[in-house]
Amino acid sequence: MKLKLLFIVLLCAFVITGCKKSENTGPVNGTTTPKITNLIADKTEIKVGGEDPCIITCEATGGNIKYQWEVDLGDIFPLNETGSQVRFTGSECCLGEKLIKCTISNDKGSDEQVIVINIFIP
């Protein structure tokens, strides 16, 4: 009899907790699919050398975003902890149009955009 009663109590406890309604509190870890909303530069032409840098800012949504910047020639230096803003400079070997790509990612996916900066000799 005690075993039967124990079985019924455990079964009821399982049913009550197993049927509990789960609440949707939104995205896990507060993240959604990342999206670049704006990739902007304070100037699109810079003089050769480091005295006339370009500041590029990536504005994005998604949460927990990691930023990766790429360019074939030139130097990219992060300006903040997140990496959403960088300084770009180029030497004489970098003359001409440079395509700078920003890729953002999180656990939900990734997005990328390219901006063009021209390096010239004054």
pTM score over 0.85 = no
CATH number at residue 96: 2.60.40.10
Is residue 84 situated within a structural domain? yes
Whole-number Å distance between alpha carbons of 81 and 50? 22
Q: Could you tell me the pLDDT band of residue 15, with boundaries at 50, 70 and 90?
A: very low
Q: How far is CA 33 from the centre of its chain?
A: 9
Query: Is the residue at 71 inside a domain?
Result: yes
Does residue 11 form part of some domain?
A: no
| pLDDT in the model for residue 29 | 55
Whether 21 shows a pLDDT value over 70: the answer reads no
Asked if residue 101 is part of any domain, the answer here is yes
Question: What is the model's pLDDT at position 30?
Answer: 67
Full residue range of the structural domain in which residue 56 is found: 35-120
Going by DSSP bridges, is the β-strand pair 96-106/75-78 parallel, antiparallel, or unpaired?
Answer: unpaired
The mean pLDDT of the chain is 84
pLDDT in tens, 82-112: 999 999 999 999 999 999 999 999 999 999 9
- The answer to whether position 18 is within a domain reads no
Domain count, the chain: 1
